[in-house]
Amino acid sequence: MRLLASGRDADVFEIGSGKVLRRYRDPAMDCTREAAVMRHVVARGFPAPTVYEVDGPDLVMDRVHGPTMFEALAVGALTPAECAAILVELLDRLHLIPAPGSLPGPSRLDARPPESGVVVHLDLHPLNVLLAPGGPVVIDWCNAASGPAGLDRALTALILAQVASGELVDVGPVGRHLFDELMLRIGPLTDVDLAVAYRSTDPNLTRLEQQGLAEAAALLGPLTRA
């Protein structure tokens, strides 16, 4: 197998026949729920990879050819305005999909919102959008849950606020431009306090990223909850 990419908690390998293996480094990880929600949204026309097999920490799915939105933004292939428009369109489309009854609410929250709701990705940002020839494809569904659309939208805005302030990646002025363009398009934010609470419990955030959450949240305006 050839290593294609490595994230904070998983590696992606090419396995031939147009497929990839996404393997979590934690052998106790179970991808069953992630595979189920991917199949659910694909069946309803949302752009996510097709899943073929799931076995514990291993997920076999389509290989999607194309750069991440972040890579396209970094080289000028997409403008911040174009990236922001795509992100908002993807959120809008996803939140039209009712969550299956078997999908629980967001994890890592002491005070969880009602579990019944729409499908929420909870990590939809430029590194998790691949620009395939046929259009953008959303990857990394391990956090997907049933919940309020406002939480999902606030999390995307919060993550891009961290990019804008240089906490996650240093992309210079383009990071702030992307955040500003998103805020022009995403509409009034609700569930910001819930998003901050959820983000603060992310085990993949570094200590410095955790410390910068309050500064990033301040860019979103006063904390509100629907």
Q: In this predicted model, what pLDDT tens digit does every residue of 100-152 receive, in sequence order?
A: 988 888 876 765 555 558 999 999 999 999 999 999 999 999 999 999 999 99
Q: Are 103 and 146 spatial neighbours (Cβ–Cβ below 8 Å)?
A: yes
Determine what percent of the chain is predicted with pLDDT higher than 70.
91
First to last CA, the chain: 47
Do 138 and 196 belong to one domain?
yes
What's the chain's average pLDDT?
89
Q: What is the pLDDT of residues 175-220, one digit of tens each?
A: 889 999 999 999 999 999 999 999 998 888 888 888 888 888 888 8
d(CA 71, CA 3): 18
Q: Select from 180, 162, 158, 179 the least CA-distant residue to 170.
A: 162
Give the per-residue pLDDT at 169.
Answer: 60
158 and 208 share a domain? yes
Is there a contact between 166 and 127 (Cβ–Cβ < 8 Å)? no
Same domain, 86 and 41: no
Query: Tell me, what CATH number does 155's domain have?
Result: 3.90.1200
Is residue 42 situated within a structural domain?
yes
The CATH number assigned to the domain holding 32 equals 3.30.200.20
Residue that wins the pLDDT comparison between 221 and 101: 101
Distance CA 194, CA 197 (A): 5
Residue 11 neighbours by CB distance under 10 Å: 15
By DSSP bridging, strand 51-55 and strand 58-62 are antiparallel
Domain extent at residue 21:
2-62
What predicted TM-score, i.e. pTM, was given to this entire model? 0.91
Asked whether residue 96 falls in the same domain as residue 151, the answer is: yes
